[in-house]
Amino acid sequence: MSIDNIIAQAVARAVKELYNVDADAASITPQTTKKEFEGNLTIVVFPWVKAARKSPEATGLEIGEWLVANEPAVNRFNVIKGFLNIVIEPTFWNSVLKHIDNTANYGITAVTADSPLVMVEYSSPNTNKPLHLGHVRNNLLGYSLSEILKACGNRVVKTNIVNDRGIHICKSMLAWQKWGEGATPESAGKKGDHLIGDFYVLFDKHYKAEVKALMDKGMSQEDAEKASPLMQEAREMLRRWEQLDPEVRGLWEKMNSWVYAGFDETYKRMGVDFDKIYYESNTYLEGKEKVLEGLDKGIMYRKDDGSVWADLTDAGLDHKLLLRSDGTSVYMTQDIGTAKLRYQDYPIDKMIYVVGNEQNYHFQVLSLLLDRLGFKWGKDLVHFSYGMVELPEGKMKSREGTVVDADDLMDEMVNTARDVSRELGKLEGCTADEAEEISETVGLGALKYFLLKVDPRKNMTFNPKESIDFNGNTGPFIQYTYARIRSVLRKAAETGYGISDYTTVEPNEKEISLIQRLADFPSTVAEAGRSYSPALIANYVYDLVKEYNQFYHDYSILREENEAIRSLRLTLSACTARVIKTGLGLLGIKAPERM
C-alpha cells in the first residue's frame, strides 16, 4: 500500500473516532507538502471543521495528535491555518522503497479481459503528401496517450483513418499522368510519399499559373478558378474514380501503394504503430448508408435540392450538411461510416479522437449525430484536442512545398544529436554502430520529449536546437541521467556489491525526497490517464531526474563505506532508473544503457 493510502485511511479512522464522521478514504487526497513548510504530506482539514465545531487550526491539531498516537508511519506534524503538514517516520520510507523495489511493473495497472476497451484514433494522413511536423505531434500524442491508458488498466486499440480519396488525391494523380514520365519511387530514388507529394505541389504550381493567365484576360479570380482546365480534369478524374473506372482505380491503387510503403517507413522510425487501419475509400459509402437510415427515421431531413441535413439547433448548434445535392459525401459522413465499421469490429466502451483544435466544432457535431444514430459511446466520445505546432520560422503550407517533412525533421534531429554528442565527448570509445545508435536514440528522444512535455491543448513552437541540450528540461538530459545510473549499477555489480538490509538506516532528507517522488509515480500515471496528458508524465520524469541529480551530487554511492547506507542508495538508484525507463516508455522514448 502506498504512503498516500496509509495516511488517507488513518485520517478516515481519525475523523470517525473524533467526530463520528464516515469519510471515504478514497476521497482524502494527501498532497506533497510545499517546500517552505516542514512535512512530507499535507491534509486539508476544512471538510471536518463543521463536525469538529472547532477552528481549522484546532481541528488540524486534534487530527494530528490522533495520528501521532495511532499511526506508526506518522512521526510529527504542524498546522498552518487549515492545513495539516505530516512528517513521516524517517525509517518508514525504507519500507516504501522496499515496496517499490519489489513491485513488478511498478506504477502500471494490469489489464484484464474485463478492462474497459478504449479506441484511440490518431495520425489520419492524406495519401497525397508525406507526413509533416503537425503529423509528428499528432502521432506522438496518440501513441503516448494509448500507452498511458494501457498503463491505467484499459484495453486499448490504436487506430488510424487514412484519407485516400477526394479531389486532393486526384490532383497528385493527374500531375503524375501529365508530367511524371512514368516515375516510380525506385526510378526517382525517393520514398513513395515524397514522390507523390512532389506531384501535389507540381499540380498547384500549374494550376496557379492557369488561374493567373485567365485573370490576366479579365476573369475574376473565382471565375478563373472554376474555368481552370486542370481543375476541371481533376474533378472529372474524381467522378471517374467514384464510378469505379478501372483505369483511374488502377492508377489510384498503384500510387497509394507507394505512399503506404513510405508511411510505414516513417511510422517505424518514429516508433508508433496501429492495431487497425481504416480507409476513407471503404468508409464513406457506409456513412452514406447510415445517413440515409437516419433520414428514414426522421433524424435527418432532405432539402428541395436533394441534399441531406441534420437540424442540431435544439442542442445550440446549427444545421449540418451530410450529403450534397449530387449525393456525394462530406467529411462528417465519412466519420459516421468509420464509426459504424469500428463498432462492428470492436465492442468499444470509449472512443478518443486525437485531432487538432481547429476541428473542435466538427467533433461536437459528430458526438451528437452518433448518439442520435444509436452508438452508445457517441455522447461520451472524447476529442483529444491539441494545439498547432510551428517552427521558429513560422507556419507551413503543403501546397507550396514548404512543409517540414517528418522524415527530414528526424534526419535533422539525429544529425544534430550526433554533432552535439561528439562535441561533448559522449561518443568517445564508441564504435561507429554504437555512435549511430546513440545519435538516433538521443535525436528522436529529444524530438519526442520536446513535443510531449507541453500541455497538449496549447499551441507550441518546436525549436530543434533547444530540444537537444544535455541540461535543462530535455529528453537528452533525462536519457543521460538514466545512462549514468545504469553505469553506477554496472560498476557496483563488477565490484561485487550486493544489497544488504537497509531498513534500519534512517534516510537523509535528500533520500526521503527522492523516495517520495518515486512513490508519486502511480498517482501521476493515473492522473495522466484521467486528464489525457502525456505532459504530466514528461514533467514528472524531469522532476524525478532533477531530484536524483541533486542526491547524486551531494552523496557518494559506490564510495560509501557503510554497507547498509550503500545498499539503500543502490536500491534507490535502481528504482529511479526503473521509473525513468517506464516513464520514458509511456512517451515512446528509448532509455539508453550507455551514453
Contacts of 501 (CB under 8 A, 6+ apart): 564, 567
Pairing, β 155-162 against β 276-279: parallel
Confidence of residue 401 (pLDDT cuts 50, 70, 90): very low
Q: What angle do CA 50, 16, 48 make, to 5 degrees?
A: 20
Q: What is the pLDDT at residue 389?
A: 86
In this prediction, residue 402 carries a pLDDT of 52
Looking at the predicted structure, is the pLDDT value of residue 361 above 90? yes
pLDDT exceeds 70 at position 397: no
Mean pLDDT of 176-205: 96
Grid cell locating 557:
554511492
pLDDT, mean over the chain: 93
* The pLDDT value given to residue 403: 63
Residues of the chain with CATH 1.10.730.10: 406-586
- Helix and strand totals (H; E) in the chain: 22, 14
Q: Which residues contact 162 (CB under 8 A, 6 or more apart)?
A: 124, 125, 127, 260, 277, 278, 279, 280
Q: Which DSSP state fits 358?
A: G
Q: Which amino acid is at 106?
A: Y
Outline which parts of the chain fall under CATH 3.30.1360.70: 3-88
* H or E stretch at 573: helix 563-586
pLDDT tier at 394 (50, 70, 90 boundaries)? low
Cβ 191 vs Cβ 265: under 8 Å: yes
| Euclidean distance between CA atoms 450 and 529, whole angstroms | 20
Q: Which of 257-261, 402-406, 438-442, 456-460 has the lowest mean pLDDT?
A: 402-406
How far apart are the C-alpha atoms of 553 and 549, rounded to whole Å? Answer: 6
Q: What is the 8-class DSSP label of residue 222?
A: H
pLDDT at 8: 95
In the chain, the percentage of residues whose pLDDT exceeds 70 is: 98
Residue holding cell 539525429?
414
Percent of the chain with pLDDT over 90: 85
Beta strand 308-311 pairing with 301-302: antiparallel
On the question of pLDDT at 350 being above 50, the answer is yes
Interior/surface letters 25-56, b for 16+ CB within 10 angstroms, e for the rest: beebebeebeeeeebbbbbbbeebbeebebeb
Does residue 355 carry a pLDDT above 70? yes
**Which ranges of 403-533 would DSSP assign to H, the alpha helix?**
406-423, 432-452, 464-467, 475-495, 509-519, 521-531
Nearest to 254 by CA among 181, 167, 176, 161: 176
Residue of 126, 131, 157 lying closest to 142 (CA atoms): 157
- 406-586 under CATH 3.20.20.70, yes or no: no
**Spacing of C-alpha 282 from chain mean position:** 27
Q: What is the pLDDT of residue 396?
A: 40
Cα–chain center distance at 560: 41
Beta bridge partner(s), residue 308? 302, 323
| Per-residue confidence band for 289, with pLDDT thresholds at 50, 70 and 90 | very high
Would you tell me how many other CB atoms lie within 10 Å of the CB of residue 278?
Answer: 22
pLDDT tens for 473-529 read 999 999 999 999 999 999 999 999 999 999 889 999 999 999 999 999 999 999 999
Q: Determine how many CB atoms are found less than 10 A away from the CB of residue 220.
A: 10
pLDDT at residue 212, rounded to an integer: 94
Among residues 544, 516, 538, the alpha carbon closest in space to that of 586 is found at: 538
Homologous superfamily assigned to 3-88: Arginyl tRNA synthetase N-terminal domain (3.30.1360.70)
Of 246, 239, 245, 256, give the one whose Cα is nearest residue 167.
Answer: 239
Instruction: Give the pLDDT mean for 79-88.
Output: 95
- What per-residue confidence (pLDDT) applies to 447? 95
Q: Extract the C-alpha cell encoding 295.
A: 433520414
The partner residues of 156 in beta bridges, in order of sequence, read 118
What cell numbers appear for 296 in the block?
Answer: 428514414
Q: What is the pTM of this model?
A: 0.91
Q: How far is Cα 473 from Cα 539, in angstroms, rounded to an integer?
A: 8
